[in-house]
Amino acid sequence: MTTPTFANYINGEWHESAQTFEDRNPAKTDEVVAQFSKGTAQDIANAADAAACAFPAWSATAGPARGAILYKAADLLDRRFESLAAEMTREEGKTLPEAKGEVRRSINIFRYFAGEGARMPGFIVPSERDRVHMFAIRKPIGVAGLVTPWNFPSAIPAWKLAPALVCGNTVVLKPASAAPLSSWRIVEALHEAGIPRGVVNFVAGSGSELGSALIAAKPLKAISFTGSCQIGNWLHAEASQRRLRIQLEMGGKNPTIVLADAEFNSAVENVANAAFFSTGQKCTATGRAIVEDAIYDKFLTALIERTRKLKVGDGMQPGIDIGPLVDQNQLDTVLRYIEIGKKEVGAPKIGGNRITTGGLEKGYFVEPTIFADVEESMTIAREEIFGPVLAVMRAKNFDDAMRIANNTAFGLSSSIQTTNLSRVFEYIPRAEAGLLTINLPSAGVEYQLPFGGTKDSSFGPKEQGPAAMEFYSDYKTVYLKY
């Protein structure tokens, strides 16, 4: 079977490039899932110009009509649900059930924001003056650049595209090179749903080349980025010079506090889930389990036992809990951190190796790995690893656990496992993170509420839920004397 080639989408047309790049299956690296046209800086400039040309008409289109196209695209994605999920597993490596969950979420995101087209909430408030009517309406920003990572290759593009479009903006999407197909499928659905030419543009290719071109594109008014702190901070510096509106969602080193009064079995399950599912490649994954001294040994033993039962393998196979890392780069990074961990704290309690047996030798598979007695100053307690590696840390009591949890530059998600309601209400204001979970895994959010972090993890307005409208729209305030 020949590998299909996927073109970029600029001004309503599919553009093939002279060069292509491969989208490979990280579970079987000899399998090329797709070839992608390698976009150039000129493609980005053309895409931004097309988006600028399309903006006046799209922004003048009634909100419900914009929403109707999003509903149609959602229906098309829904019809292709099974094949989209299978493609995602093959390009990114997450298990098929996880991929199905993500595709379902993208569809829900499109339907949720399609509905916003008919709401577009503004303000009407009474004036202090006689016969003055005053109100504020929403207006779009203009051309938005969307730069997305590979770990949620469908949901993150969806949660940027849908609010941007329904608010009346036009966009240029630059997906991650490791997994561009899932977002290409969304663009395909928008095309088939009748999105006017130039409203959505898609250019895949080198992040550094296309990122620079995007920042330099004159029509650009806003940029929404999800990815590493390194790239996000660079984009922020560049975007500030042009006074672009910017939104950044970046890394984390998320804690889960386990108190002695936690419901024990579910705490073990929640930590194992948050640390290892999706191969630890969730921005909201737990990287640090901070366990109260009174149950530390018992908890560690139970967590190791639970981890031993996790099945690593090709996510297309039934019964697999953990798929491969996404690419060689991630594999090298994770193995490097495991070596650092061994030097800092000794051998891991479980895991610590690449898996090269049992048919997994052609994939980027790593054993789920637990380091115990990790200290706050250690690299593996401070830096994001973005793989199935957990640091277990000992806390004297609740206050000590809170201090350790907050002792990080990051602030994306944070979790606590406890049955003590007072502790919960003390935890909520004290936890330095944008997303809190209580008696749930630190990862696993829904689209109806604001999403995003604090401290070095994030910058700018939140994504998802009603909050997403804030980034993609501005207010126009009207005073009217009658």
Total site size for ligand NAP, rule CB under 6 A: 31
Q: Does 250 bind ligand NAP (CB under 6 A)?
A: yes
Q: Does 148 bind ligand NAP (CB under 6 A)?
A: yes
CA 41 vs. chain centroid, Å, equals: 25
Rounded CA-CA distance 167/108 in Å is 17
Q: Residue with CB nearest ligand NAP?
A: 211
Q: Does 147 bind ligand NAP (CB under 6 A)?
A: yes
Our answer to whether residue 53 is catalytic in this structure is no
Rounded CA-CA distance 55/112 in Å is 23
For residues 442 and 256, is the Cβ–Cβ distance under 8 A? yes
Q: Does 252 bind ligand NAP (CB under 6 A)?
A: yes
Pairing mode, if any, of strands 143-147 and 32-37?
unpaired
For residues 38 and 27, is the Cβ–Cβ distance under 8 A? no
Residues contacting 403, CB < 8 A, separation 6+: none
Q: In the bound complex, what is the minimum distance in angstroms from residue 130's beta carbon to ligand NAP?
A: 49
Q: Does 177 bind ligand NAP (CB under 6 A)?
A: yes
Q: Does 173 bind ligand NAP (CB under 6 A)?
A: no
Binding piece for ligand NAP, criterion CB under 6 A, among 47-55, 76-84, 249-257, 387-395: 249-257
Binders in 328-387 for ligand NAP, by CB under 6 A: 384, 386
**Of residues 168 and 232, the one with the C-beta less far from ligand NAP:** 232
Catalytic residue among 283, 292, 463, 470: 283
Q: Does 213 bind ligand NAP (CB under 6 A)?
A: no
Binding piece for ligand NAP, criterion CB under 6 A, among 68-76, 128-136, 176-184, 314-322: 176-184
Residue from 251, 255, 315, 411 that binds ligand NAP (CB under 6 A)? 251
In the shown chain, the binding pattern of residues 386 to 405 toward ligand NAP, with x for contact by CB under 6 A and - for none, equals: x-------------------
Positive or negative torsion for Cα 313, 177, 410, 101: negative
At CA 136, angle to CA 131 and CA 137, rounded to 5? 130
Rounded CA-CA distance 144/62 in Å is 19
Rounded CA-CA distance 409/18 in Å is 43
For residues 330 and 281, is the Cβ–Cβ distance under 8 A? yes
Binding piece for ligand NAP, criterion CB under 6 A, among 75-83, 149-157, 268-276, 315-323: 149-157
**Of residues 50 and 326, the one with the C-beta less far from ligand NAP:** 326
Q: Does 176 bind ligand NAP (CB under 6 A)?
A: yes
Q: Does 227 bind ligand NAP (CB under 6 A)?
A: yes
- For tokens 């996927």, the residue is 6
Q: Does 24 bind ligand NAP (CB under 6 A)?
A: no
β strands within 351-467, DSSP E: 369-371, 389-395, 413-417, 435-438, 458-459
C-alpha torsion angle, residues 256, 261, 262, 264 (rounded to 10): 120
**Of residues 299 and 386, the one with the C-beta less far from ligand NAP:** 386
- Site residues, ligand NAP (CB under 6 A): 147-152, 174-178, 206-208, 211, 226-228, 231, 234-235, 249-252, 283, 384, 386, 412, 453, 457
List residues with catalytic annotation. 249, 283
